[in-house]
Amino acid sequence: MTPRQIDLRSDTITRPTAGMRAAMLEASVGDDVFGEDPSVNHLQERIAEMLGKEAALYVPSGTMSNLLAVRTHTQPGDELICEAGCHIYNYEQAGFAQICGASVRPVEGRQGVLTVDQLQGLIRPENDHLARTRLVCLENTHNRGSGRVLPYDDVRAICDWAHQHELLTHLDGARLFNAAVASGLPASRLAAPFDTVSVCFSKGLGAPVGSALAGSTEFICRARRYRKLLGGGMRQAGVIAAAALYALEHHVDRMAEDHAHASQIAKAVDGIQGLSLPGPIDTNIVYIRVDPKLGTAATLVQRLAAHGVLTIDLGPQDLRVVTHLDVTSSDIEQAIEILRDVVLNESNSPRPEGGVRSVYT
């Protein structure tokens, strides 16, 4: 019998639960391009309420949601400021440039965290030779920051500074509900300092597809027009909106289990010679640094995969594991045992070339 695979590559790989599938089957639907899908309308109203915003727009993906935010906030020739490791800058095909005609001023944070002092002096003066500084984007939780929850006081200070200088603010909150559960702060408070916020339903929440962009009613009206331009106008989308609604009702509080599992993995890594953690673990993402004496991260990824544990490499010496609702406590214990055994007992074996192709969601 083939052993069960323990897939820790991303929280995007979850399958709809039985309850979610039932909700999808029973969903009321209509044509959302005409604004007539009751399930989509309910989802948009619900997520706007949860985020403390006037309105929201359902879209196919987080990449589209962030792109819509940048496109609606900026004009060609504008510049946005962001943390250097953020998803918008690194993993969305530079859509800000391809589609929006915007440029980026990346600023290196500490495990994804910026402070307002780092942004002082970065606003370009009004000059015919220069880009127009227009937008500040932050990411919470920060993917490449090992799922770091941004300190609320730093976020508040950055957004206050931006607004004082007539800049707009956008939050890539793909895993914002992870941040809310970990911090004990409601999502609405975490979103409050920002003009707009994007959240993803297909990551820790476990829905099969979809994200939302929230902001003012006027902003969402304009973003809806750009959604159509980008091919994001969906028809009887209530079938998938129902999955997102189910996730909001049933899968938020349980994220604490994922965080506990990630902490369990992190604690084990601390006890394995040759492995280390780049920083603290706040939520469900664990980055593991591999000592070059053990080989590359890609080598370790391949060895783990041979034993049924799927991870991804995100650099020559860094691999990532992500916990989610499809992995159990026994899965985590087994994965830790396999990781320890592979590192301790196979590190001196011949090392195969290559690895599992990385993904960055």
Q: Mark which of 217, 250, 283 sits at the end of a domain.
A: 250
Please check whether residue 358 lies inside any domain of the structure.
no
Average the pLDDT over 63-84 and give the result: 98
3-class SS of residue 115 = coil
Does residue 350 surpass a pLDDT of 70? no
Q: In CATH, what number is assigned to the domain containing residue 280?
A: 3.90.1150.10
Please check whether residue 277 lies inside any domain of the structure.
yes
- CA 279, chain centre distance (Å): 18
Please check whether residue 305 lies inside any domain of the structure.
yes
Contact 119, 136 (CB under 8 A): yes
3-class SS of residue 118 = helix
Q: Which of 1-5, 109-113, 172-176, 292-296 has the lowest mean pLDDT?
A: 1-5
Are residues 35 and 184 both part of a single domain?
yes
**Residue 305 pLDDT:** 97
pLDDT band at 39 (very low <50, low <70, confident <90, very high): very high
**Residue 354 pLDDT:** 47
User: Which residues fall within 8 angstroms of residue 229, CB to CB, at 6 or more apart?
Assistant: none
Closest CA to 337 of 329, 30, 16, 348: 329
Left, alpha or beta for 272 (phi > 0: left; psi -120 to 50: alpha)? beta
Point out which residues pair with 313 in neighbouring strands.
319
Q: What is the total count of domains within the chain?
A: 2
Average the pLDDT over 145-161 and give the result: 98
Are residues 90 and 236 both part of a single domain?
yes
Contact 334, 276 (CB under 8 A): no
- CA 68, chain centre distance (Å): 16
**Residue 359 pLDDT:** 55
Q: Which residue type is seen at 240?
A: I
Are residues 311 and 246 both part of a single domain?
no
- Computed over every residue of the chain, the mean pLDDT equals 95
pLDDT band at 94 (very low <50, low <70, confident <90, very high): very high
Does residue 25 surpass a pLDDT of 50? yes
Query: Percentage of the chain surpassing pLDDT 90?
Result: 94
E strand or H helix that includes residue 320: strand 318-322
Are residues 218 and 336 both part of a single domain?
no
Contact 237, 222 (CB under 8 A): no
**Residue 345 pLDDT:** 87
Closest CA to 41 of 206, 220, 196: 220
Does residue 32 surpass a pLDDT of 50? yes
**Residue 361 pLDDT:** 73
Q: For residues 231 and 177, give the distance between their C-alpha atoms in angstroms, rounded to a whole number.
A: 27
Please check whether residue 9 lies inside any domain of the structure.
no
Please give the full DSSP string across 119-165, using - where no structure is assigned: GTT-SPPS-TTSPEEEEEEEESSBTTTTSBPPPHHHHHHHHHHHHHT
pLDDT band at 1 (very low <50, low <70, confident <90, very high): very low
Contact 159, 165 (CB under 8 A): no
pLDDT band at 356 (very low <50, low <70, confident <90, very high): very low
Q: In CATH, what number is assigned to the domain containing residue 24?
A: 3.40.640.10
Place of tokens 């920060």: 142
**Residue 358 pLDDT:** 52
Closest CA to 62 of 260, 281, 244: 244
Domain membership of residue 172 as a residue range: 18-250
Are residues 141 and 287 both part of a single domain?
no
Average the pLDDT over 100-117 and give the result: 97
Q: Mark which of 250, 275, 300 sits at the end of a domain.
A: 250
Q: Mark which of 196, 215, 250 sits at the end of a domain.
A: 250
Please check whether residue 339 lies inside any domain of the structure.
yes
Does residue 347 surpass a pLDDT of 80? no
E strand or H helix that includes residue 287: strand 285-290
Place of tokens 């830790």: 336
pLDDT band at 333 (very low <50, low <70, confident <90, very high): very high
**Residue 341 pLDDT:** 96
Question: Which tens digits make up the pLDDT trace of 275-323?
Answer: 999 999 999 999 999 999 999 999 999 999 999 999 999 999 999 999 9
User: Which residues fall within 8 angstroms of residue 4, CB to CB, at 6 or more apart?
Assistant: 308, 331
Please check whether residue 361 lies inside any domain of the structure.
no
Are residues 198 and 280 both part of a single domain?
no
3-class SS of residue 253 = coil
In the structure encoding, which two tokens stand for residue 196, read together? 């707009």
Question: Which tens digits make up the pLDDT trace of 198-239?
Answer: 999 999 999 999 999 999 999 999 999 999 999 999 999 999
Are residues 69 and 25 both part of a single domain?
yes
Burial class from Cβ neighbours inside 10 Å (0-12, 13-18, 19+) for residue 178 reads buried
Burial class from Cβ neighbours inside 10 Å (0-12, 13-18, 19+) for residue 50 reads buried
**Residue 318 pLDDT:** 97
Average the pLDDT over 44-65 and give the result: 98
